[in-house]
Structure 1
Amino acid sequence: MTARLFWTKARLRARRLIRRHPRLNVAFRTFMAFSIAFGGAYGFIAGSLSADYDPHAFAIGISFLFALACVALAILSMRLRRMRKKMHKIALHNEALVDRNWELKEAEERARHLFESQSDLIVLRDGGGVITSVNEAYCILAQRSRTELLGSRFALPVLEQGESAIESNGTRVYDQRVETARGPRWIAWREALMRIDADHPAELQCVGRDVTDRTDSERALAEARDRANEASQAKSRFLAMTSHEFRTPLNGIIGMSGLLLETLLTPEQTTYVKAVKASGDALLSLIEDLLDYSRIEAGKVELECRPFVLSDLIEDITELLAPRAQARQLEIASYVDETLPAEVIGDAARLRQVLLNLAGNAIKFTSSGGVALIVVPGIRPGDIRFMVRDTGIGIAPDAQARIFREFEQADDQIIRSYGGSGLGLSISDRIVKRMGGRITLQSKPDSGSTFEVLVPLPAQDRAPERKRFTAPDLTGQPVMLVAPQAIETSLLARRLERWGAEICTASDLTVARALLPERAWHAVVVDHAMGGGAIWRFGQAARQHTERRIIMVTPSTRHDLQVAGAAAFTGYLVKPLRTASIAARLSAPADDPTSLRTAGGQPDCGRPETSRTPASTSGPSLSILIAEDNEINALLTRSLLTRLGHAVTVATNGEEALKSWDAALAAGAPYDLVLMDVQMPHLDGIEATRKIRERESVRSGRRTTILALTANALIDDRHACFEAGMDGFLVKPLDRERLADALAGLTAARHVPA
């Protein structure tokens, strides 16, 4: 076992020696072959010359040697054949290597060409910062040859270093402003470590791109943005100033014309004063649009989230627009789906602004027919769809997208025929988008339009503070509607069907009279628009078939209810109809009175005419100081407050107001309220308010309520008023109802029992 291991190790050592020294192997084999040939030849020759020569043995030996030679030749032939195969394989391998080498050279040449043809700067450095490779673009920018750069630590002179950032793959990115022969240039660098193989150290690959044009453009854009911001701020200041300058005289025009309408005037004078007031209202509406657009453009519109009654908002809008529509012989009606929540949460004022604009435009561009405001649930929970439909002139397809842009209308003919600033729809669209909704339009020329507003309005969780009305149960009850096939009629029929009624609609009095005997009707509702004395005769004929006979009138035709024939009807409804009024009429006890129900009988569901009598306060009188530098506005405000029954003192600037406040406090009769104009000479309202609050902090006593009386409607001005210590603000032109509400709230707060 030991000998075998010894010989195995010996053979391995011999093979290793032969592999390491191939010449020794050839010499050894040559020596062995020569020794065998020489020994064999010498043995035969010696044997043939000896005395014991045996020809037979000699022949056997020769044959054996010949056989060995043949075997050797066969082995040699086989080895030569094997050698040829190996040589052939080696030749093929060499050809493949040559092809691969050619491909590598071609790829290297292509890569070098790509490397050199790059307009970007490419430079490779080792760990010590020495340049190991560089492309032609870098040489041109550096104004040095490749020979000078290779092996050096050359770097372009840096004039300004930008901020650097590290990407997720470890690449460092930064900008540099460098000095070159072409002048200062901005280079965007990307640096990354690159390792060719394990035997070579990693190199830093730097790729730079000349971004001077981009940087200059960015700086120009930044400067333009700064200039635009400055222009926007200047515009805001200009709007604030012009708003004050516009609103101050408008306050006098609108307010004084309103006071003048309450005096005894001839019909001609009344017409002229109404024209003045209408012109002032139109100018105020234009100013409001411009200010709203400015606030929305500047992103300064803040939305409120307060609960409000959805149906009240919609019906208030239709009532507000009804006089305008009825003056153009148009119908306007509303419908709110009963499946919607009674109260929702959102910005009622902004939603009202949007719907007033859409419905007002619908009236403006409609010459016959009418306008419908329909509210139904949206597709997603919490979404509500508001649809404003009209039978107007319609909008061409190519103009439907354009009308939502600023200062745009459908075409020039629209501007000449109808006027307008072209801001209403743009403002409405932006407000709705701020609410998270959208406005869509469906329209065809001469076929009317439908504007749809989809807004998310979540329902109010708590129970409503007041119950609106109880819907009557009309299941199976027949109701006849005698009215033209118009908007109000279709929406009323839709409402009654939701309450379970069986509706029969007739657009002709003769047909309606023929249908009366067919059944006992729960109610008959007749539109006054069916005409004249025939209505009263129809009412008399309906006495035998129904105990509820209701007539629909407009405020302008309400006086016709005083004629003798009107006694045939048991009640009336004023258009546009309110859902609560319809429910009250149809659920009233069935009897047959001889006259219309008024406030002394069943509830009068008609709305009273607007009173022209001067308002008076029902609460105690207040002591009020007015700080106003404009004589007309001071006179208007004093007149309004005097008519409301309050004691008024006027100061023409902030200093006089401060002195008057001090004097009243020293006399033991402090003012209950100060109406402080913000912009006044000598001492403005903001500074005067600060001084009053400072003096109140020193003295102990009741805090004086101060309301800003300002023409500036921008939100920044409101913040300034509150920061100065004011309790609220009234925007000019001064609105009598808002002033009365503010005083009523103050009166209630002052006289709450202890």
Structure 2
Amino acid sequence: MDPATFPQADPLLMAALVLAAFGTAAALLLLRSIGPFLNLTWSSRSGNGPADHAPSCLPEEAACRVILDNLPDPVVLRDLRGRIVGANRSYTRLSGGPHPAAAAEPVRVTEEALETCEGGRWISWSETPIEIEGRRHRLLTGREVSESVRVRHRLEEARARAESESEAKSRLLATVSHEFRTPLNGILGMTRLLVETGLNAEQTTYANAVRSSAEAFLTLVEEILDFSQIEAGRIDLADEPFEIAALVQGIVELLAPRAQGKGTNIAAFVATDVPRTVRGDADRLRQVLFNLAGNAVKFTAEGGVGIAVERGAGDLIRIVVEDTGPGIAAERAAIVFEEFETGEHRGSGEAGSGLGLAITRRLVDRMGGRMELDSVVGEGSRFRVELALPAASDEDGPALAKAASSQPERSPGAVLILSGSPYEGPYLARTLREAGIEAVVVTELEQALARMAARSFAVLIADHALPDTDARVAASEAHRHGIARSIVLLSPFERRDVGSPHAAGFDAYLVKPVRPRSLFEQLGPRDLAPVATRPAPAATDAATSRGRAVRILLAEDNEINALLAVKALERLGALVEWARDGREAWERAEAAMAGTDLPYDLILMDVRMPGLDGIEVTRRIRAREAEAGRPRGRIVAVTASHVGAAEAELRQAGFDNVLAKPFTFEDLAAELSSCEAVAPLAQAS
């Protein structure tokens, strides 16, 4: 064919079409073959040296060269002897030759579906701005991506199916949790009522066994639900101010009866440089520490458990939970945080689901912290948690107030502490020393007597858990050596057995685990007075503060749970009306607001009920209150669902608080106390 008779073509257009149809390498060869017919030519470029290149005298080809040099793929043309006769910039850079200016970056990448004779195809187009002989153009290079698009679509479909299955699993677990909690609430509550009816020793043992089994079952349900939420990535962290010392002390006091019942003890220490108020997720931190300390109490048969909180660099807070248990072998320590690893390695007959430590590790990771384990078989274990918990701002509260804010203005003198506990005595000494008070710790009576004979002390603190009558002997010797104050450490169980501390030779007593505030109050300048545990709310507390009994509307469709709540509330001195479903609850509340019935001080509303559920009833009550322009009455949600996941939604619906099943006598007492300052649900004045 005569080149003169071939139609004149746009070189850039032809180059792009050839590239799209045949690919970069094939396009280079084809363009070289048909170049004379299209007035397209290209010249060779020197690469790795004369020995590897054949001479070439190709005519001018600016458009083709710019196109090839801006391709992201390396392109090279060799003659029949294997010598390079042409190459683009990408190849030159890869081969180590001269480094020309880099090709322009694509400004847009799009995918296009094309129908061809072979079926549907996907082409990925990259658009790159180029310049040819002073004129600006857009270079579009295409590559077939049909297979990768199909793979991506399959992955998206698989991800959608997995998310749907995960959602279904979460709904199933939430439903199962709800259905488990409802009967467990009845079992635990009724067992407690049964124990308090005057059973004999054998019957009490059986009833307590039922309660322990139900509590273990409840723990398993909680762990499974928590683990499923973490697996699904549904753990939302709060960022709210809270008092870390109060949180730690609460955990210790909650676990103390369990530890003391085994003949061990648990104690806590919070360094004075730890901010009193910090920001973070208090509920998740409580869950982490409760899991660690609870495990330590479970597997420690002798000695005790300690929780120490110290400040690290910056906002870092370091919390150490340690015990004197059997320890964990090195080969087991590496996998103790894996799922379903039980406590068999602890050498105890007790075991769990194997999820507690796995959940704890994941929660710490989720909070951006780290956790480490040091353990020696036969000596004990130490779990160290480090979290960034910044001090709360002045707007949130007294952020930098020290934990031991009730320190005495002046030192009472040296304090001698006689305690065989591995943590209670040392922690008391650390607390005193940080307050500027000299403290000496001894573990045996003979050591205490030797110290008294060698020097003077102002105060003796002796643990009643010492062997035989060692504490009484120490108190007697303390008075003989002129020690002004003798204080005995008692557990609540020991307090009932000891009777009057004064009759035993002591001036006062402290209940274990000891709070720093109680300790410093006993060391103050005034005469010592016994510091007792906080008593449980008396049965008439809620009634006497108002001058009349608190009136409660209980909306509960489960007869056993209703019976449990009614009996417990009546023992607290309240008057209870029971609504068997949501519709009856709304009718009673409506009558109270209309003034045709007496007002309610508190409504305990089950969330799931037939007919109208608790959420809808609460919304109706709030709407009626808003219409009448009256203060909100107190409405508490009672739910067997997981509180952490549902609390925000329930509060948004109008509930003032959320009470999780199974609830305790103390939970109900706290709710009665909370409703004291709230206007009753009644007709607007």
TM bin, normalised by shorter chain, reads 0.7 to 0.9
Within-5 A mapping of 1:391-410: 391-409=324-342
Question: Per-residue deviation at 1:230?
Answer: 1.1
Change (3 A) 1:338 1:303: same
CA distance in 2, matches of 1:630, 1:522: 60
User: Which residue of the partner structure matches residue 256 of structure 1?
Assistant: 190
Q: Kindly indicate whether structure 1 or structure 2 has the higher relative contact order, using CA contacts under 8 Å at least 6 residues apart.
A: 2
Identical positions, percent? 39
Q: Which runs of 5+ in 1 are unaligned?
A: 1-123, 153-166, 590-600
Within-5 A mapping of 1:135-150: 137-138=22-23
Retained in 1: the 8 A contact 2:326–2:347?
Answer: no
Retained in 1: the 8 A contact 2:20–2:143?
Answer: no
Deviations 1:391-418 (A, max 9, x none): 22333445445333443457x6569943
User: Which residue of the partner structure matches residue 54 of structure 2?
Assistant: none
CA distance in 2, matches of 1:415, 1:518: 43
User: Which residue of the partner structure matches residue 688 of structure 1?
Assistant: 617
CA distance in 2, matches of 1:449, 1:218: 48
2:530 corresponds to 1:530? no
CA distance in 1, matches of 2:405, 2:17: 87
Change (3 A) 1:560 1:538: farther
Retained in 1: the 8 A contact 2:104–2:128?
Answer: no
User: Which residue of the partner structure matches residue 521 of structure 2?
Assistant: 584
Of 405, 426, 432, the match for 2:358: 426
User: Which residue of the partner structure matches residue 186 of structure 1?
Assistant: 122
CA distance in 1, matches of 2:279, 2:234: 21
Of 642, 645, 659, the match for 1:713: 642
Within-5 A mapping of 1:280-299: 280-299=214-233
CA distance in 2, matches of 1:185, 1:456: 52
Retained in 2: the 8 A contact 1:395–1:444?
Answer: yes
Change (3 A) 1:747 1:481: closer
CA distance in 2, matches of 1:283, 1:571: 41
CA distance in 1, matches of 2:584, 2:502: 65
Deviations 1:21-44 (A, max 9, x none): xxxxxxxxxxxxxxxxxxxxxxxx
User: Which residue of the partner structure matches residue 672 of structure 2?
Assistant: 743
Change (3 A) 1:500 1:147: closer
Retained in 1: the 8 A contact 2:227–2:355?
Answer: yes
Paired amino acid for 1:210: E
Question: Per-residue deviation at 1:148?
Answer: 12
Within-5 A mapping of 1:77-156: 126-128=11-13, 133-134=18-19, 137-138=22-23
Change (3 A) 1:315 1:132: closer
Deviates more, 1:537-546 or 1:610-619: 610-619
Q: Which runs of 5+ in 2 are unaligned?
A: 1-8, 39-102
CA distance in 2, matches of 1:377, 1:729: 33
Within-5 A mapping of 1:328-407: 328-380=262-314, 382-407=315-340
Paired amino acid for 1:581: S
Retained in 2: the 8 A contact 1:385–1:453?
Answer: yes
Of 420, 424, 431, the match for 1:495: 431
Retained in 2: the 8 A contact 1:125–1:205?
Answer: no
User: Which residue of the partner structure matches residue 168 of structure 2?
Assistant: 234
Retained in 2: the 8 A contact 1:707–1:727?
Answer: yes
Deviations 1:48-101 (A, max 9, x none): xxxxxxxxxxxxxxxxxxxxxxxxxxxxxxxxxxxxxxxxxxxxxxxxxxxxxx
SS of 2:533's equivalent in the other structure is coil
Question: Per-residue deviation at 1:629?
Answer: 1.5
Of 507, 512, 523, the match for 1:570: 507
User: Which residue of the partner structure matches residue 595 of structure 1?
Assistant: none
2:143 corresponds to 1:218? no
CA distance in 2, matches of 1:501, 1:452: 28
Paired amino acid for 1:684: D
Structure that is richer in helix per residue? 1
2:236 corresponds to 1:310? no
Change (3 A) 1:379 1:282: same
Paired amino acid for 2:204: T
CA distance in 2, matches of 1:405, 1:564: 48
Within-5 A mapping of 1:724-739: 724-739=653-668
Instruction: Report the TM-score, using the length of structure 2 for normalisation.
Output: 0.76
CA distance in 2, matches of 1:496, 1:700: 54
CA distance in 2, matches of 1:663, 1:465: 51
Change (3 A) 1:604 1:308: farther
User: Which residue of the partner structure matches residue 476 of structure 2?
Assistant: 540
CA distance in 2, matches of 1:468, 1:540: 32
Question: Per-residue deviation at 1:387?
Answer: 0.7
CA distance in 2, matches of 1:132, 1:351: 63
Change (3 A) 1:588 1:281: farther
Change (3 A) 1:386 1:509: same
**Which protein shows a greater Rg?**
1
2:493 corresponds to 1:556? yes
The alignment covers a number of residue pairs equal to 599
SS of 1:521's equivalent in the other structure is coil
2:254 corresponds to 1:320? yes
SS of 1:352's equivalent in the other structure is helix
SS of 2:149's equivalent in the other structure is helix
User: Which residue of the partner structure matches residue 105 of structure 2?
Assistant: 169
CA distance in 1, matches of 2:479, 2:535: 29
Retained in 2: the 8 A contact 1:262–1:613?
Answer: no
